[in-house]
Amino acid sequence: AHGYTKYNDWATINDWVSSITAANADLISSQVIGNTYEGRPMHVLTVGKKTGSAKQAIFMDCGFHAREWISPAFCQWFVNEAVTTYGTDSEMTTLLDNMDFFVLPVFNVDGYEHSWTNDRMWRKTRSKNSGSNCIGTDPNRNFDAGWCTIGASSNPCSETYCGSSIESEIESKNLANFIRTNKAIIKAYLTVHSYSQLLLFPYSYTYDHTPDHSELLSVSRGAVSALTSLHGTRYTSGPGAATIYPAAGGSDDWAYDLGIKYSYTFELRDEGFYGFLLPESQIQPTCEETMLAVKYIATHVLNNP
């Protein structure tokens, strides 16, 4: 059965998308933005009060890297928290009345399924590579942002393989097409990974600062202090290259260069004690604290369009 304080497999998440959408018709609609390499649907839920007029939007994805199970758990938590606190939590009510959240709960569905059935530590997509027996591309090295120039490999056997070309992965192409199509309304791009307790913003493909560096830094510091206020969890924030490592081809840098100023990568709990194997007992506190950061960013975006 589905639960918010456990890890759910793909079949369970797929059923949950249908049921939570059906149960909240005034606040959620869902669509398929394309299929994965192995043919599974990539769902995007639109969460927001249906007003009939065009609203600004925030795009958030989870599950880029298969083994980072806390990430899809957070996207599910976020959707549930949004619909259950709408009407009672004043900040969430204002957010959903005035903007839409596009939520992609699992980006790398094939990899996620593989991490459940075959290899818990799988990271990449599951596409075949011509001329190699190694499977998969790192989807966060596959976007048009200094593609494959630094912190990425052209070897298909590498965990950071950048792919045969920009958007070679159908999952990358589906995501990029959706964001390009909705570029006029998408004001923020949030992508949720684990682990290391970081809140990163562009750039990662260069040490250069973006023209929006000071605003991105101050918003990230505000978001982190909101997060830390709940359970004391310490986060570091900063531009990706200097804060974690230089790595090109990421979706965050791509979205920023497309014109989406508020582009952030979350690296959720923990700092490495459990790493990708974060126990289910930490799902609730992790999601609770991360909600505060996402709401902080969203409120900033709403007030500074």
Please check whether residue 207 is in contact with residue 242, taking contact to mean a CB–CB distance below 8 angstroms: yes
* Total residues binding ligand 0X9 (CB under 6 A): 14
| Footprint of ligand 0X9 on 180-239 (CB under 6 A) | 193, 200, 204
Which spans of this chain sit near Zn ion (rule: CB under 5 A)? Answer: 65, 68, 193, 285, 288
Task: Give whichever of 13 and 247 is closer to Zn ion, judged by the CB atom.
Answer: 247
Residue 148 CB, nearest approach to ligand 0X9 (Å): 12
Per partner kind, with CB cut-offs from 5 to 8 A, the member of Zn ion, ligand 0X9, none near residue 215 is none
Kindly state whether residue 61 participates in binding ligand 0X9, applying the rule CB under 6 A.
Answer: no
Angle made by CA atoms 283, 39, 278, in degrees to the nearest 5: 15
Q: Considering the candidates 267, 280, 288, 289, report the single residue annotated as catalytic.
A: 267
Kindly state whether residue 252 participates in binding ligand 0X9, applying the rule CB under 6 A.
Answer: yes
* DSSP string covering the chain: ---SSS---HHHHHHHHHHHHHHTTTTEEEEEEEE-TTS-EEEEEEES---SS--EEEEEEE-SSTT-THHHHHHHHHHHHHHHHTTTSHHHHHHHHHEEEEEES-S-HHHHHHHHHT-TT--S---B-TT-S-B---GGG-SSSSTTSSS-BS-TTSTTB--SSTT-SHHHHHHHHHHHHTTTTEEEEEEEEESSSEEEES-SSSSPPPTTHHHHHHHHHHHHHHHHHHH----EEEEHHHHT----S-HHHHHHHHT--EEEEEEES-SSSSGGG--GGGHHHHHHHHHHHHHHHHHHHHH--
Of 55-63, 88-96, 216-224, 244-252, which part binds ligand 0X9 (CB under 6 A)?
244-252
Of 8-16, 180-188, 243-251, 289-297, which part binds ligand 0X9 (CB under 6 A)?
243-251
Kindly state whether residue 247 participates in binding ligand 0X9, applying the rule CB under 6 A.
Answer: yes
Residue 40 CB, nearest approach to ligand 0X9 (Å): 21
Q: Which residue is nearest to ligand 0X9 (CB)?
A: 250
Task: Give whichever of 42 and 291 is closer to Zn ion, judged by the CB atom.
Answer: 291
Task: Give whichever of 24 and 77 is closer to Zn ion, judged by the CB atom.
Answer: 77
Query: In angstroms, rounded to a whole number, what is the distance separating the alpha carbons of residues 241 and 152?
Result: 13
Kindly state whether residue 253 participates in binding ligand 0X9, applying the rule CB under 6 A.
Answer: yes
Residue 289 CB, nearest approach to Zn ion (Å): 8
Specify whether 267 is catalytic: yes
Residue 116 CB, nearest approach to ligand 0X9 (Å): 18
Catalytic positions:
267
The binding site for ligand 0X9 (CB under 6 A) comprises: 65, 68, 140, 193, 200, 204, 240, 244, 247, 250, 252-253, 265, 267
